[in-house]
Structure formats: structure tokens, C-alpha cells
Amino acid sequence: MPPTPADALIEKEIDQEQIKALAILYDRFAHALDPFSPQRDEAERVFMHEVASLYDFFKPVTGGGVISHHDFRKAVILRCKRHLAATDRPSSI
């Protein structure tokens, strides 16, 4: 039986509003025009802190035990990317 995808493991723990807020932070640091700006660094720090807090609070469990923080963070980032792609509005210029 194939393993459950990592993004499905957090489906019950994190609601859409939390993903929306995390996606804003993710977009600020992942797609920053200036990779050395303090705002970019702050957005990344806050994002990583929020993800770590969610992980510590929920400790997502699968059939095989607790998933790793790395896999949890990857699943959150994947959902953030999906949210950003779904809400992307091309400019009219």
C-alpha cells in the first residue's frame, strides 16, 4: 500500500485560514524581489516559528507514528503554494 502523501497528513490539523496566513508569509520570503532585505528575513523567521508552533501543538500522527518536523513543514509549504496558485490574479497591465 503506498504511503499517505504528506499534505494529507495535516488536513485535519490546519484549517484554511491558517494556511492563508502562512501563505502570505511564505510569499513574502520565497518570492522576495530583494533576497537580502530585512523584511524577507523577518517573514521567513516568523513563518518557520509558526510552523514549528503548529507542529509542536498538533504532533501529527500517522499509522506509523509521528511524522517528522521536516515532512510537516514540507506539507505546509505545499499547501501554501497551492493556496497562492489558486488565488493568484494576473496583473491587468
Render pLDDT for 3-42 as a digit per residue (tens, 0 to 9): 555 555 566 678 889 999 999 999 999 999 999 999 999 9
Cα 18 to Cα 14: distance, rounded to the nearest angstrom: 6
Residue 50 lies in a domain: yes
Number of domains forming the structure of the chain: 1
Domain residues for the domain of 43 are 12-87
Residue 65 lies in a domain: yes
CA triplet 9, 80, 41: central angle to 5 degrees?
Answer: 120
Residue 2 lies in a domain: no
Higher pLDDT, 48 or 87: 48
